[in-house]
Structure 1
Amino acid sequence: MDIGTIIGFVGATALVLVSMVLAGTLGMFWDFLSVIIVFGGAAFATLIAFPIDVFIGAIKAALKTLSQPTTKPTELIDVAVECADTARKGSILALEKVSIEHEFFAKTVRLLVDGYEPDIINAMIDLEINNLKARHKSFRDVVEQMGSATPAWGMIGTVIGLIVIMANLSDPNAIGPGLAVALITTLYGAIVANMIFIPLAGKLKYRTNEEITHMRIIREGVNSISKGENPRAIRQKLESFIAPSQRSAGEE
C-alpha cells in the first residue's frame, strides 16, 4: 500500500470527523439522499462526458494509486547495467539468457536481440510513451471531472432542499432542520471533491510521470547497450534520472 495516500486519506477523514463531533453529533451530518445526489449525480454526469470503458479504466487507475509501484527506477538501472555487462562479455545475443521481470524492459531487450536498429527501437518506445500519456490523461480527466461535478451536484441538492423549505414556510419548526439537510449536500460535495477526487487526480499525474521516467531509463539503457558502452558509464548516465539520494554513490 502507498503509505502517503493512506496517511493523507485517513488524516483528512479524521480531521473532518473530529470537527463534526466537536460541532455537535455525527448523526446531524448524515443524510442518505444527499449522498445519492452528490455521488450519483456526479457519476452519471461524468458518464455523459466520457465513454464507459474510459470511466471504468479511470476507477481502476485510481485504485492502483493505493498501492506502491512494483518497480523502482534503481532496479531498472541495475538490470540495464547487468545487460550491458553481459553484452560486453559475450554479445547482444547473450542477453537472451538475462532474466528480466519488467515486462516492457524485457520486450525492448528482445527487440535489440532480434536485430532491430536503435532508431527503430527509440521510435517504438516514444510511441509507447505518447500513447501512455494520452491514455493516462483520459483517466485523469475523468477523475478531475468528478472533482468538478461533485461540488456542483452538492449545490443542486442544496437548491432542491431550499425549494422544499420555501414550499413549507407555513411550518416554522421545519425550516431549521430542512435548511440543515439542504446545506449537508453542499458539504458532501466539497468534502468529496477536495478529499478524494482532486488529490487522486494529482496522484495519477505523479504516477504517469513516474512511469514515463521508467520508460526513458529503459530507452537510454538499451541505446547504451547497443553502442557497447561501459557498464559503469551507463550506470552514471541512467542515475541522472533519479534523485541524488537514490544514486549508488549516495551523492547529495
Structure 2
Amino acid sequence: MNFSTFIGLIVGIVIVLWAMSMGSSILIFFNIPGLMIVFGGTVAATMIRYSLKEAIYSIKMSFRILMPSTDIQDKEELIELTDQLVRSARQNGIVSLEKIEVRNEFYQYGVRMLVDNYPRELVRQTLKEENRLLVERAQTSAGVFSSIGGAAPAFGMIGTLVGLVQMLSNLSDPSSIGPAMAVAMLTTLYGAMIANLFALPLADKIAVWGQEESIRQQMIIDAVDFIAKGLHHSMLRDVLSPYLDKKPNFDEEVV
C-alpha cells in the first residue's frame, strides 16, 4: 500500500471520529434515514452515469493501487533487468529469456511474446494497445470516484432539505423537531465526508497512478523493442534514460 495514502486516510478518519466523540456520544452522529439518502442516492446517481461493469472495475483498480504490488515499479530496476535480458538474448538467443525472472506483469507479457517468436512490430503494437486500454480504464475509474465525490454532497443537501421540510411541517409537535433536524444536519456531514475524505482523493490517486503507470509501460515497450532488435547493451541507457525524468502529463495522449 502507498504509505502516504494509508496515513492520510487513517489520520483523517481518526481526527473526525475524535472530534465527534468530544463532549458527546459518537452514536448521535449515526442516523439511518440520513445514511439511506446519501449512500442510496450517491450509488443510484453513479450507476446512472456508469455501467455496473465500470463501477466494479473501478473498485478493483482502487484495490490494485492501494494494496502492495509484487511488480517491479522502480525505473532504474527496469533498466537493470532490461540489460540482463539484452545480454542473455544476444549471447544465448531469445529463448533464453524465459529462464530469467521478470516480476513486472506487463514486461513479462512482452517477453513471453518475444520468446514465442511473435513479429517485433506485432509485439510493439499489442503492447501499445494494452497501454492505451490501461489509460482509458484509469480515466474511467477516476471518473467513477469523481462522480461519487460530486453526488455525495449533492445528496447531502437533498437530505438537508428533506429534514427541514419535515421539521417545518411538524412545528406543532416538538418531539419531531429533533429527529428531523438530525437528518437535515447529518446528511450534509455524510456527503462532505464521503466526497472529501474518500471519493475525490481516490479519484486523484487513480488519475496520477494511471499516468505514471502509462509512462512505465511506454518505457517497457521501448525496452522490449530494444531486445527484439538485438541492439548492443551499451546503447540501452541512452534509449531508456529519458523515462527516468519523465513526469506525468495529464494532457498527453498515448501514441
Alignment of 1:211-230 (within 5 A): 211-230=213-232
Change (3 A) 1:232 1:32: farther
Deviation digits for residues 115-164 of structure 1 (CA, Å, limit 9, x no counterpart): 44433322222111111112222222211111111111111111111110
Q: Which moved more, 1:74-83 or 1:201-210?
A: 74-83
What's the offset of the Cα at 1:213? Answer: 2.4
**CA offsets, 1:168-220, max 9 Å, x none?**
11135653553243111011101110100001111111221232123112111
TM-score of the two chains, using structure 2 as the length reference: 0.85
Q: 2:173 aligns with which of 162, 171, 174?
A: 171
Equivalence for 1:187: 189
The CA distance in 2 between the partners of 1:6 and 1:118, in whole Å, is: 41
1:118·1:223 contact (CA, 8 Å) conserved in 2?
yes
Three-state SS of the structure 2 residue aligned to 1:190 is helix
Question: Which amino acid in structure 2 is aligned with residue 44 of structure 1?
Answer: A
2:112 aligns to what? 110
Match of 1:4 in 2: 4
CA 1:184–1:228 in structure 2 vs 1: closer, same or farther (change >3 Å)? same
Q: CA 1:238 to 1:172, structure 2 compared with 1: closer, same or farther past 3 Å?
A: same
The question of whether the paired residues in 1 share the 8 Å contact of 2:142 and 2:207 is answered with yes
Aligned length: 244
Pairwise CA distance, 1:19? 2.6
Q: What is the alpha-carbon distance in structure 1 between the residues aligned to residue 138 and residue 174 of structure 2?
A: 52
* CA distance 1:65–1:90, shift in 2 (3 Å): closer
For 2:19, the equivalent position in structure 1 comes to 19
Does 97-106 or 29-38 show the bigger shift? 97-106
Conserved in 2, the CA contact under 8 Å of 1:76 and 1:214? no
Distance 1:93 1:59, change over 3 A: closer
Q: What is the alpha-carbon root mean square deviation over aligned residues?
A: 2.3
Aligned to 1:250: none
Please identify, of 232-241 and 78-87, the stretch whose mean Cα deviation from structure 2 is larger.
232-241
Q: Normalising by the residue count of structure 1, what TM-score does the alignment of the two structures yield?
A: 0.86
Q: Does 1:130 align with 2:132?
A: yes
| CA shift in 2, pair 1:84/1:180, >3 Å | same
Any idea what SS the aligned residue of 1:161 has? helix
* Residue 223 of structure 1: how far off its partner (Å): 1.8
Contact 1:88–1:228, Cα closer than 8 Å, also in 2:
yes
- Mapped pair 1:100 → 2:109: no
Match of 1:247 in 2: none
- For structure 1, the 5+ residue unaligned runs are 245-252
In structure 2, runs of 5+ residues without a counterpart are: 247-255
How far, CA to CA, are the matches of 1:184 and 1:213 in structure 2?
Answer: 43
Residue 56 of structure 1 corresponds to which residue in structure 2? 56
Aligned partner letter, 1:201? A
Residue-by-residue CA offset, 1:17-60 (whole Å, 9 max, x unaligned): 23323464423322122112111211122112222111111122
Select between 228-237 and 152-161 the one with higher mean Cα deviation: 228-237
Deviates more, 1:35-44 or 1:188-197: 35-44
Aligned position for 2:47: 47
Match of 2:33, SS state, is helix
Contact in 1 for aligned 2:82/2:223 (Cα 8 Å):
yes
Alpha-carbon distance in 2 for matches of 1:97, 1:60: 31
- 1:149 corresponds in structure 2 to 151
| Corresponding residue of 1:68 | 68
Deviates more, 1:18-27 or 1:31-40: 18-27
The residue aligned with 2:38 is 38
The 10-residue stretch of structure 1 (92-101 or 139-148) with the greater mean CA deviation from structure 2: 92-101
